[in-house]
Amino acid sequence: MQRIRLRYTKRGRLRFTSHRDFQRAFERALRRAEVPMAYSAGFTPHPKVSYANAAPTGTGSEAEYLEIALTEARDPEKLRILLDESLPAGLDVVDAVEARTSGLADRLTASVWELRLDGVAPEDAERAVAAFKAAGTVEVQRTTKNGVRTFDARSAVADLEARADLETHSEPADRPTDQACAILRLVVRHVTPAVRPDDVLSGLRAVADLAPPVPAAVTRLAQGLFDEETGTVTDPLAPDREAAEAQTAAAAATAPA
């Protein structure tokens, strides 16, 4: 089997699709594009698709990942184009590589988020961020199926900064534009229990009484390995590209003159 890893997006109003909604749309796209999928064994075979760390419903994303298994080899870029054309606008397949390394999910250890806070002055956001970063722990509560759970939202946050709404990635078309707006950039490690952007907003409310008048527009900009030295999140598909380049170079070196 050939394995292909894909990066896709959830943009605009498509951010309100659930993970199950995307699964159904993607399986239809596989059929439309006539992708030679490998299937699981058993009485109810399913196409072999592995999803990794999907974003919560209601949040946009530029960095969602999945892996598919094929019974016949395909060019990753041509496959990407076919799948992208078969999905609705907003669910866009933007990158594809052949899997040449193991452990894609293990390389998703952190995410970069952008939070658009309409109705919040940048200076108020900056004060709240400073209070959050200065705190040793910031306890928040979240309602789960097992009841209310209390946990620390501060320890998972590798970086948090506030800025004015200048050039950001958010799509503010359905948002008011005649009022103050602050943008938060958040780098959060993937820990257990998972700390989500709304947990950080709850923490900002707890330490600095920051309460946006409308729900925040949240977009995941990247996810991958967290580099402790630089504080950046690296591309999880880079090792597959590097392995492909090394194999091509090795083949060229051994080819007869």
CATH number at residue 90: 3.30.70.580
| Residue-number span of the structural domain to which 146 is assigned | 109-230
Considering Cα of 198, then 200, then 204, then 205, what sign does the dihedral take? positive
Collapsed DSSP state (helix, strand, coil) of residue 173: helix
How far CA 124 is from CA of 110, 137, 143, 183, 230, in Å, comes to: 27, 21, 28, 11, 28
Q: Is residue 125 located within the same domain as residue 209? A: yes
Q: Is residue 199 located within the same domain as residue 136? A: yes
Q: Is residue 123 located within the same domain as residue 94? A: no
- Give the whole-angstrom CA distance, residue 201 versus residue 210: 8
Q: Is residue 98 located within the same domain as residue 123? A: no
How far CA 221 is from CA of 16, 19, 99, 168, in Å, comes to: 17, 18, 22, 11
* 229-239 core/surface letters (b: 16 or more CB in 10 A; e: else): eeebbbbbbeb
Tokens encoding 52? 């990794």
Given 105, 133, 163, the domain boundary residue is 105
Number of domains making up the chain: 2
Tokens encoding 79? 């496959």
The pLDDT value recorded for residue 84 is 97
Given 73, 105, 137, the domain boundary residue is 105
Q: Which pairs with CB-CB distance under 8 Å and at least 24 residues apart come from 133-141?
A: 133/157, 133/160, 135/207, 138/203, 138/206, 138/207, 139/206, 140/199, 140/202, 140/203, 140/206, 141/202
Report yes or no on 95 lying in a domain: yes
The pLDDT value recorded for residue 248 is 79
Residue 173 φ/ψ, nearest 5 degrees: -60, -35
The pLDDT value recorded for residue 177 is 54
The pLDDT value recorded for residue 143 is 84
* 125-162 core/surface letters (b: 16 or more CB in 10 A; e: else): bbebbebbeebeebebebeeeeeeeebbbbebbbebeb
Q: Is residue 23 located within the same domain as residue 98? A: yes
Given 56, 87, 105, the domain boundary residue is 105
The pLDDT value recorded for residue 146 is 81
Q: Is residue 222 located within the same domain as residue 116? A: yes
Q: Is residue 113 located within the same domain as residue 86? A: no
Residues in the chain predicted with pLDDT less than 50, given as ranges, are 172-174, 176
Angle at 171 between CA 20 and CA 182, to 5 degrees: 115
Q: Is residue 92 located within the same domain as residue 113? A: no
